[in-house]
Amino acid sequence: MKKVIVLLAGVFLVMNSFLYAADKPEKAVKSKVKTEKAEPDEKAEEGAKSLKTGDRMQVIKFDKGELLADGKTNKFFETSLSKEKAEKGTMYSCKAILKKGGKGFPIIEGIKGKRGDWKDYDTLVVKYFLEGDKPMSSGMIIADQESYGEKWENWKYSSYCSKRYTFLPGENTWNIDLTALVTNGGRNLDLANMRTVAAYSSDGREEDYTIYFQAIYVEKE
| Domains in the chain: boundaries | 1-50, 56-219
The dihedrals phi and psi of 144, each to the nearest 5 degrees, come to -110, -175
User: Is 110:216 a contact under the CB 8 Å cutoff?
Assistant: no
Q: What integer pLDDT is reported at residue 27 of this predicted model?
A: 44
pLDDT at 193: 95
What CATH number was assigned to the domain covering residues 56-219? 2.60.120.260
Q: DSSP label at 132?
A: S
Residue type, 205: R
Alpha carbons within 13 A on the beta-carbon side of 24: 5
Residue-wise pLDDT tens for the chain (221 aa)? 444 444 434 434 444 443 344 444 444 444 443 444 444 443 433 434 689 999 999 999 999 999 998 888 889 999 999 999 999 999 999 999 999 999 889 999 878 899 999 999 999 999 999 999 999 999 999 999 999 866 656 678 899 999 999 999 999 999 999 999 999 999 999 999 999 999 987 788 989 999 999 999 999 99
The Cβ of residue 203 has, within 10 Å, a number of other Cβ atoms equal to 9
